[in-house]
Amino acid sequence: MGKPHVIYCDYQATTPLAPEAREAMLPWLDGPGGTGFGNPHSAHRMGRMAAAAVEVAREHVAALFPAGGKVIFTGSATEAINLAMRGVEPGGMIAASAIEHAAVLDTAGALGAFHAIDVDAAGIAGLDGDLPEDVSLIAVMQVNNEIGTIQPVADWHERAQARGALLLCDAVQAAGKIEIADADMIAVSAHKLHGPKGIGALWVRDGIELEALITGGGQEQGLRSGTLSPALCAGFGAAAKLALDRQVQDAAHVQALWNRALELFDGWTLNGSAEQRWHGNLNIRRDGLDVARLMSDCRNVMFSAGSACASGSGRPSHVLRALGLSDAQAKSSIRLGFGRYTTIEQFEEAAEAIISAANSQG
Ligand code: PLP
């Protein structure tokens, strides 16, 4: 059976592995007789070779972040966020924007009552609202995963500092695409920037003390025990380097796709700000659209109803609701995500399939 013809338009859920990242991983997936399968924590030569590859990767990943901090490899951004939020043991209240990913919102909820920072109709967490007196940790993401809006993270960092609180920034959808804003702790994920799944990182500003979530052999400076995978680290490092090298080129390509998308989806309504946005995220709605039917009619186009994380739950997206959309509007929304490897022709084919299926709904 041949591969089905599919067009991938779900870049916020995950991204295709860059060939360069795959290449960088292969030497560390060696079998018997090879030299690349060493444990990076072993003292012998093979261990030191693997450890050196991990450190090269760490430098490439560190280049994504501001200066003055360290990179802790984790198994995912979700784990990085948990390490940050649980590891700082916030003494006071946590405040988090209402449009954070579940990794932040559910962790804040698990740690106790938290304050939700409202967003405006454009999907931006403005700085006007009150914060609890005893706020000690604020979480504001850089680029939203459902609607792509870019948050004023630098302003939030200033506000956090003025209140004596720490700022955690979920930069999963920003890393490698736009410059990561300054914060106290920053979480990223390799698979959103054309690296492998199964690895993320937490960047921690120098001077911030964290408690480990996972104890054991004391790897990652005692903050995340467990044997690192040199292959995953190398793939992450290569993907991060490539993303930085190609940042301008990738952004220009995404802009061209965005311009074409706006022409094709003329008459649909955009959810969230058009300007303060990563343009690889097209979240749009059309009154009365039956999204489940649309997805079944367009099986070859990989796109998402609302957020990939919430899809299947039947619940309308908390992000679209936070913008003030009704349940019906949220449920008639779709998200198309595109990027480095999406061609204009592929996008046109996907858009035509979706538009014609939507039109046939009457
Ligand atoms: N934060 C955002 C904004 C995301 O989009 C995602 C993934 O969907 C995550 C966090 C979680 O990342 P990971 O898959 O590495 O746990």
* Residue 101 CB–ligand 1 contact under 6 Å: yes
Does residue 277 lie within any of the structural domains?
yes
Does residue 44 lie within any of the structural domains?
yes
Residue type, 40: P
Q: Any alpha helices (H) in the chain, and if so which ranges?
A: 19-25, 45-62, 77-87, 102-110, 153-162, 230-245, 247-264, 291-297, 318-322, 327-331, 344-359
**Whole-prediction pTM value?**
0.97
Which atom belonging to ligand 1 lies closest to the Cα atom of 189? 15
* Residue 220 CB–ligand 1 contact under 6 Å: no
Does residue 227 lie within any of the structural domains?
yes
Strand 69-74 and strand 200-205: pairing? antiparallel
CA atoms of 247 and 8, how far apart (whole Å): 21
What single DSSP character describes residue 179?
P
Domain end point (choices 245, 267, 292)? 245
Counting the structural domains of the chain, the total is 2
* Residue 107 CB–ligand 1 contact under 6 Å: no
Q: How many angstroms separate the alpha carbon of residue 259 from the centre of ligand 1?
A: 26
Which atom belonging to ligand 1 lies closest to the Cα atom of 77? 15
Series of mean pLDDT values for 10-residue runs along the chain (362 residues): 90 98 98 97 98 98 97 98 94 96 96 95 95 97 98 98 97 98 98 98 97 96 97 99 98 98 98 98 96 96 75 77 94 97 98 98 86
Which atom belonging to ligand 1 lies closest to the Cα atom of 143? 3
Which atom belonging to ligand 1 lies closest to the Cα atom of 170? 1
36, 76: one domain: yes
Does residue 65 lie within any of the structural domains?
yes
39, 180: one domain: yes
Mutate to test the pocket of ligand 1, among 147, 189, 202, 319 (most ligand atoms within 8 A of CB): 189
39, 184: one domain: yes
278 Cβ neighbours under 8 A, 6+ residues apart? 143, 148, 150, 173, 174, 177, 178, 254
CA atoms of 150 and 301, how far apart (whole Å): 26
Does residue 1 lie within any of the structural domains?
no
* Residue 172 CB–ligand 1 contact under 6 Å: yes
12, 157: one domain: no
Catalytic position from the list 9, 169, 233, 309: 309
Encode pLDDT of 121-142 as tens digits: 999 999 999 999 999 999 999 9
For residue 362, give Cα distances in angstroms to 283, 287, 288, 326. Answer: 21, 11, 9, 21
Q: How many angstroms separate the alpha carbon of residue 241 from the centre of ligand 1?
A: 20
Ligand 1 atom 5: residue of nearest CA: 145
**Residue range(s) defining the domain that contains residue 195:** 19-245
pLDDT of residue 312: 58
SS3 27: helix
Q: How many angstroms separate the alpha carbon of residue 11 from the centre of ligand 1?
A: 12
**Phi, psi dihedral angles at 338 (to 5 degrees):** -140, 165
* Residue 307 CB–ligand 1 contact under 6 Å: no
181, 241: one domain: yes
CA atoms of 233 and 251, how far apart (whole Å): 25
What angle do the packed helices 230-245 and 247-264 form, to 10 degrees?
70
* Residue 15 CB–ligand 1 contact under 6 Å: no
Which CATH number does the domain housing residue 157 bear?
Answer: 3.40.640.10
Strand 281-285 and strand 333-337: pairing? antiparallel
Q: What is the DSSP string of 221-266?
A: TTTB-S---HHHHHHHHHHHHHHHHTHHHHHHHHHHHHHHHHHHTT
Does residue 190 lie within any of the structural domains?
yes
Asked about 169 being catalytic, the answer comes back as no
Contact 23, 351 (CB under 8 A): no
Q: How many angstroms separate the alpha carbon of residue 167 from the centre of ligand 1?
A: 18
Encode pLDDT of 290-336 as tens digits: 999 999 999 999 999 974 455 556 678 999 999 999 999 999 999 99
Ligand 1 atom 7: residue of nearest CA: 13
Mutate to test the pocket of ligand 1, among 74, 106, 172 (most ligand atoms within 8 A of CB): 172
* Residue 173 CB–ligand 1 contact under 6 Å: yes
Strand 281-285 and strand 269-270: pairing? antiparallel
